[in-house]
Amino acid sequence: MDAADVGDDLVEVLFTEAQIQTRIAEMAAEISRDYEGKDLVLVGVLRGAVMVMADLSRALDKHVEMDWMAVSSYGSGTKSSGVVRILKDLDADISGRHVLIVDEIIDTGLTLSWLTSNLGSRGPASVEIATLLRKPEALQMPVKAKYVGWDIPNEFVVGYGLDYRETYRNLRDIGTLSPSVYS
């Protein structure tokens, strides 16, 4: 599905599918270089990171293990509740391994701050973050992401894994959702 398929639901398209794929490839090149010769585990944050994780892992030029966590601080609204819950934990043992958390967006930073601390307590060699999008104006907790696709304004965005009430995830582009949709 692309932006034309959702009519007036988007105020604007921020990034096209082509722009996203180019930026993912650039990030993958950096990650491949930085983790050369290291045992790397990608930890995707369900559900939003599915698209980023799939494309990023395919763009890497090294073998990686992939695992998933599902954590939530949103519920069904558009604002973080501030309470993080684990819905699905890792299957892999990460002790002594390099962990790269892959997420689609850093919004308030509450979830990723908690997740970084949680995974760090499990004895990995390192824990870093790769995110496609970051909203610097929305940050409530300091979160250091090693790999960032783009910084964006503090607006509600959908597409490429980002959703509103479980819709728009399969939109190939990323765009700003019209307030008329969620007001």
- Which positions are catalytic? 107
**Alpha-carbon distance 37 to 34, whole Å?**
9
At 19, phi and psi to the nearest 5?
Answer: -65, -40
Helices marked H in 2-149: 17-34, 50-59, 110-120
Q: Give residues with Cβ within 8 angstroms of 136, minimum separation 6.
A: 151
What tokens does 136 get?
A: 């610097």
**Displacement of CA 78 from its chain's centroid (Å):** 16
**Alpha-carbon distance 56 to 125, whole Å?**
21
Amino acid at 170: N
From 53, 65, 167, 150, select the one nearest 106 (Cα to Cα). 150
